Structure 1
């Protein structure tokens, strides 16, 4: 399969892909970017999947020269989630799979296609680390259960191996806010549903940060004098940067998150997590409103040797966003360095 440069990333053509749902994603494409060089021994690969409103560009905040993940020492592969507007998505897929007709894609589907990218295109046989925030962290768990022999270590942060019922309901709320826009038209909108996107963003902002964040006025550290200024910034980001159908496609992936929901494990979460061979550090934020540490504690107990390292931060889920919480960044760097340290 050939790839070619488009702007600052490459495209891997997958052809027609059979999905868990039984549907076929036609002419599927994965967008990705690599940094550094694959070592002769092939033991320096770090995979960074992307998160919900992220691309490979946002992932660049998690590594750098002189840091725990270092392009001078590691071959970093940053791969874009299906539905994020760069890989195959409702917004860039031609009829008859455009817009609301885009098929539901699971984490299993994403990881199966990422595996093809790594093995067929990049010649990767083993990964030193799979790491990521939020939906990217969900993909870390998925990788370790789906291809346990290929992953040496995982570091999911503010994520889960299985989307909890409460997390599912939170996502239903933001979806309902978006779809209530009169111009939504079942996803066949003539113009972007701006009112719906703004409502989506406002509801989401209430979950992304903790109660303490708002009570203590930490939004001022982001340059906003008032909560309303922050909410308007979230509105603008969603209106300017995200297609509504793309947001819902990724949301569907998130809601179906479950490392055991496949033919390998038949819904047995203990079996799926018990099959993980990778060294594992799980870092939840204690004030994360949709990936609470209680869920991760249950999952960590099912993974042999897993380290469970909760971090307390009023930034909530967004503690992990680069630049928000220096303490979280330091803790993350230390854990990454521990997992990447050679014996």
Structure 2
């Protein structure tokens, strides 16, 4: 096992449900300095685990473990932290309670403060649903977070984003005839259709038109869809996926007692220096949505990743996109804060 576990005890979720014996899986890179001020929190995205974040961590990079103490907490529902696949009855599989981004960040705050005694975070960074966690950290703990850098991530699921996630959910529910009582019959094989649905949203029109999948070693569209989308989704547990989809669909940074649904107020309350990097061709976490958000955050720069890789400009696959993200993180970390 290449990660650690923090046992959280019985946790009352935002829904009011108590999840017994909850736990967060996390991995750290680098060393915490004596001042405890060299901290970067880098949450995982939908379907990802800490390993998928490691492309952005390395010597000489912005997230350099020789300079920073980098904490990668795994999302609830991703199979490593408390999830439908690893929770005993009565909260196993389809019975797992609904968890929010706010729940995730509150528990990550416990990890950071209780486990490590950290009071200041230099940067919260993340892609996709990791990006929304960066926004949530900035809105929920503004006195603690000095910088945020969401890339390919928005601060709430705008209506179109909600519909895209709903299409993925519907592809899975169709396997049991949309009968909620049969959810426990779902298997990983039923994830094949979900992968095909997401294939149309994860990458851009120009990515497919220009056959950029050939750069990844695939000689046809079909071999790419099967080799990447079907295979990666069929490795996932369907109940974990349903949990993460629900989290994504209800991931509004203002949907909590601090802001009571006032989205603009939540954005204006983020005092951190912010670098917001959408993929210029992202089809469902769009640059337009991010631009609206950036305009309300007092200390934000809006810096789109000019890329044909759509949402996956932030996935660590295309070297030009990776360099753009890393360069922007270096610039952001070099800026002085009032903290």
TM-score by length of 1: 0.95
Change (3 A) 1:109 1:48: same
**Corresponding residue number in structure 2 for 1:133:** 127
SS of 1:301's partner is helix
Write the deviation string for residues 158-215 of structure 1: whole angstroms up to 9, x where unpaired: 0111110000001111111111114886464356151x31100011011100010111
**Does 2:330 match 1:337?**
yes
Cα distance in structure 2, aligned partners of 1:80 and 1:182: 29
Cα distance in structure 1, aligned partners of 2:58 and 2:166: 36
SS of 1:149's partner is coil
**Corresponding residue number in structure 2 for 1:235:** 230
Q: How does 1:304-343 map to 2 (within 5 A)?
A: 304-324=298-318, 326-341=319-334, 343=336
Structure 1: runs of 5+ lacking an equivalent:
1-6
**Does 2:9 match 1:15?**
yes
Moved more, 38-47 or 75-84: 38-47
SS of 2:11's partner is strand
**Corresponding residue number in structure 1 for 2:269:** 275
- Contact kept, 8 Å, 2:271 with 2:299, in 1: the verdict is no
Cα distance in structure 2, aligned partners of 1:214 and 1:181: 28
**Corresponding residue number in structure 1 for 2:255:** 261
- Residue 236 of structure 1 deviates from its aligned partner by 1.7
- Contact kept, 8 Å, 1:183 with 1:193, in 2: the verdict is no
**Corresponding residue number in structure 1 for 2:51:** 57
Q: How many residues align?
A: 334
Structure 2: runs of 5+ lacking an equivalent:
none
Cα distance in structure 1, aligned partners of 2:153 and 2:12: 26
**Corresponding residue number in structure 1 for 2:244:** 250
Alignment partner of 2:25 out of 27, 31, 47: 31
- Residue 26 of structure 1 deviates from its aligned partner by 1.2
SS of 2:293's partner is helix
- Residue 227 of structure 1 deviates from its aligned partner by 0.9
SS of 2:296's partner is coil
TM-score by length of 2: 0.96
The RMSD of aligned alpha carbons is 1.4
Q: How does 1:1-343 map to 2 (within 5 A)?
A: 7-182=1-176, 186=180, 188-190=183-185, 192-194=187-189, 196-233=190-227, 234-239=229-234, 241-324=235-318, 326-341=319-334, 343=336
- Contact kept, 8 Å, 1:183 with 1:189, in 2: the verdict is no
Write the deviation string for residues 31-67 of structure 1: whole angstroms up to 9, x where unpaired: 0011111111111101000001211111111110111
- Contact kept, 8 Å, 2:30 with 2:66, in 1: the verdict is yes
**Corresponding residue number in structure 2 for 1:4:** none
Cα distance in structure 1, aligned partners of 2:200 and 2:114: 42
SS of 1:161's partner is coil
- Residue 95 of structure 1 deviates from its aligned partner by 0.5
Change (3 A) 1:166 1:117: same
